[in-house]
Every structure is written in structure tokens, then in C-alpha cells.
Amino acid sequence: MPEPLLQVRGLHMQFPLNDTLTRRARRAPLEVLRAIDGVDLEIARGEVLGLVGESGCGKSTLGRCVVGLYEPTAGEIRFEGQLLSASRERTTRRRMQMVFQDPYSSLNPRMTVRQTLGELLRVHRMVAREQVDARCNELLELVGLSAQALDAYPRQFSGGQRQRVSIARAIALDPDLLVADEPVSALDVSVQATVLNLLEDLRERLGLTMLLIAHNMAVVRHVCDRVSVMYLGRIVETAQTEELFSNPRHPYTQGLLKAVPRLQPGRVSEAVAVEGDPPSPIDLPTGCRFHPRCPLAQDVCRREDPALSAPGGGGPHHLAACHFAWTAPPPAHAPEVHVDSAP
């Protein structure tokens, strides 16, 4: 297998919640929110990896760590095999770009599209000064906006058009990796489709590698080659898209898929897909972090944190972090198969 474009190892991101002088004076314990709690991830060149999970599971934080907006607490991020440090060179930053969820707040309201794009092109010396305008035009054409849009301010655009401007801004620097954080969830359905199609089209034309962060399973199924499911700061399952959707092994993935409302009228089951609320990332449960909501939970799940594991003998194509991912749903006495030795 060729070297992956992006490689994340043992990533941790913690946010201190009460790191104040008063707390230090009182010698009270420091509370931390573990947004990412040990994540490994690989994306091959040209691949689209989907990262799904519910709000607060750490998926956006992970995306932000990758592009360097956050400095991770621990772990390493490698790009083309090279370890990235916290302070990145401009040339490295250029190669990873991000599209944000909310096109209303992620564009500077006081800059025209020309200024927004032009600034980038000049700072990163992408083209000669006199070619900046031509390149701006080209970029707009790539994302399906007319050249008239160049002198408009963000407020003059609809949500879908703004998201196109955001995408133009992200691809202006010819990135290798595009991190798209919920790029369509703020948009209307009919507009969502056009933006998703645009991303697919750009991916083909520019040979982009993508990390698509989303909570909409249907969107992920349409766009991604491979999908990782996150729960409370961990990846609990990774597989090729079709494999994940047809053969989910982690009970959380199974519940997540069951919970998605379908277009077919009148095929509702009475049973709730996943009971309860996600626990707080400040006070994580012991053992498997899904066990309080898991229908399969056994004693071992309360004690031991399962690591990502592949089925016996198989390659690392389908990984799931469940004690019972690769064995039949346990009867009363479950065999302890995958014991996690890591702390």
C-alpha cells in the first residue's frame, strides 16, 4: 500500500475547563474535556474519508487539529510521511485547506470575493500579481459562479452561493487535502445537492483528497469512499462505505444507521434505535464508552475499553472497537476476545 497522504497517530485534544487562578489557589482538581481521546486515522491520496458522529463527539475538533487550527495535546500528524509541528510553514498550511459549516460566519463580511481570494493568492504567491484577477475568475468558474460575483460582498449571496465562495477560497491554494466540516448542513435540501455535486466534481478534476465531516449518514454514503464513525472522542468503527452501511459491526454504528429517517413512508419500527443521551466528555464512563447506551453491554464492557480490531485473519479494512464486533452477540457468558492492554 502506498504511503498515506495524511496519517494521524494517537491524537489527543483536551480543553481545560477551569484553568483559573482561583482554582490553583484552592488546589481544586483541573477539569478537562477530552474532545479527542486517542484517534488514529489514515487517508490515502485521492480518497474521500467521511467522519460521522453526533454533535460533541470530536469530529470537528479532529478536522481543526488536522489543518492546524488547534494544537493537539498529544499525538502526531504526518503529511506525506513528514511529521507536522504545531507551528507550520506557510507552504505546509497551503496544502491543507478547510471549508467551514456556516458560510454566513466564515467569510469576512467586509471583503468582496475579489479581495478574499486575491489576498490569499498574493500572500501565498500562487500567481504573479498581474494574474491574480484572471485566477480569481477561473476559481469562480470552477465553483459555478459568474464573474459578476467577484465584486459582491458575502451578504449579497444566498447560502449555497456563499458556500461556493468558501469552496473557491479553499481550492485557491491548490491544496492536496480538503477538510470539509459539515459543508452542506446549513443549506436547504435542493441546494445541498448542488454543493455536494460540486465537491465530487472538484475532487475528480483537481484530484483532491478529502476529509468530509458530517452528521448526515445519507450524505456520507453518497460522497465517501471510506467512513469512520466517532463517538465521544474515539473512532469506534472504520470501513469502506458500502461495507459499513451493509455490515456495521459496532452497536453504535448500527443504532446510528437505524435512527436515520428514511424516505419510504410507513416503515417505522416502534423501537428506539439508541436509548439515552451521550455521556459527558468531561466525565467519561469506565470501560467501553458506549456501554451505558449499548444493548449488548456485558460486565467486560464496563471494565475494559475495547481497542479497534479487525476480524480474525482479515486485513485492516474493517475495524471496530467493540468486544463483540466479530463474535456473535453474546449470550449470558461472553467470551473475552479482544482485550485492550493499552492504558
Partner 1 sequence: MNDPLLEVRDLRVEIPLARGVVHAVDGVSFSVGAGEALGLVGESGCGKSMTLRAILGLLPRPAEISSGQVMFGGIDLVAMAPRPLRDIRGRSISMIFQEPMTALNPVMRVGEQIAEGPQHHLGQSRRSARARALELMRMVGIPDPVRRARAYPHELSGGMRQRVMIAIALSCSPQLILCDEPTTALDVTIQDQILKLLLSLRKETGVAVVLVTHDLAVVAETCDSLAVMYAGEVVETGAVGDVFRLPRHPYTLGLMRSVPDFDVVRDSLASIPGTPPDLVSSFEGCRFAPRCQFAKQDCLAGTFPLRVAPGGRQTACIHDEECAEAARRDPVVSSA
Distance CA 46, CA 292 (A): 38
Instruction: Report if residue 272 touches partner 1, rule: CB under 8 A.
Output: yes
261 binds partner 1 (CB under 8 A): yes
Q: Interface with partner 1 by CB under 8 A: which range of 10-18, 21-29, 196-204, 321-329?
A: 196-204
Assess 190 for contact with partner 1 (CB under 8 A).
Answer: yes
Q: Segment near partner 1 (CB under 8 A), from 71-79, 91-99, 217-225, 335-343?
A: 217-225
Q: Per-residue string for binding with partner 1, 48-67, x by CB under 8 A?
A: ------xx------------
* Torsion of Cα atoms, 58 then 62 then 65 then 70, to 10°: -10
The residue length of the chain stands at 343
Alpha helices (runs of H) in 37-145, residue ranges in sequence order: 59-67, 90-94, 113-123, 132-142
Q: Shortest gap between Cβ of 236 and partner 1 (angstroms)? A: 13
**Site membership for partner 1, residue 277 (CB under 8 A):** yes
With beta carbons less than 8 A apart as the criterion, state whether 307 and 321 touch. yes
Is residue 219 involved in binding partner 1 (CB under 8 A)? yes
In whole angstroms, how close is the CB of 64 to partner 1 at the nearest point?
20
**For partner 1, which is the closer residue by CB, 192 or 309?**
192
| DSSP 3-state of 3 | coil
Q: Which of 77, 211, 244, 274 binds partner 1 (CB under 8 A)?
A: 274
Q: Contacting partner 1 (CB under 8 A), which of 133, 200, 225, 304?
A: 200
- Would you state the cell numbers that stand for residue 64, as one nine-digit string? 481543526
Shortest Cβ distance from residue 218 to partner 1 (Å)? Answer: 4
Does residue 288 interact with partner 1 by CB under 8 A?
Answer: no
The string of DSSP letters for 257-291 reads HHHS--SSTT---SS-SS-S-PPPTTSPPSSSTTG
Q: For residue 104, which of 152, 59, 147, 160 has the smallest C-alpha distance?
A: 160
240 binds partner 1 (CB under 8 A): no
Q: How far is the CB of 195 from partner 1 (least distance, A)?
A: 9
The reply on whether position 19 binds partner 1 by CB under 8 A is no
CB of 123 or CB of 272, closer to partner 1: 272
Does 189 sit near partner 1 (CB under 8 A)?
yes
Alpha helices in the chain (DSSP H): 21-26, 59-67, 90-94, 113-123, 132-142, 159-171, 189-206, 217-223, 241-246, 251-259, 299-303
Where does this chain touch partner 1 (CB under 8 A) — which range of 129-137, 173-181, 183-191, 283-291?
A: 183-191
> Among 101, 250, 68, which residue's Cα sits nearest to residue 184?
101
Total of residues contacting partner 1 (CB under 8 A): 42
C-alpha to C-alpha distance for 124 and 118, rounded to whole angstroms? 10
Give me the sign of the Cα torsion angle 239, 289, 68, 142: positive
Residues forming the site for partner 1 (CB under 8 A): 54-55, 158, 160, 188-194, 196-197, 200, 215-219, 221-222, 255-256, 258-268, 270-275, 277-278
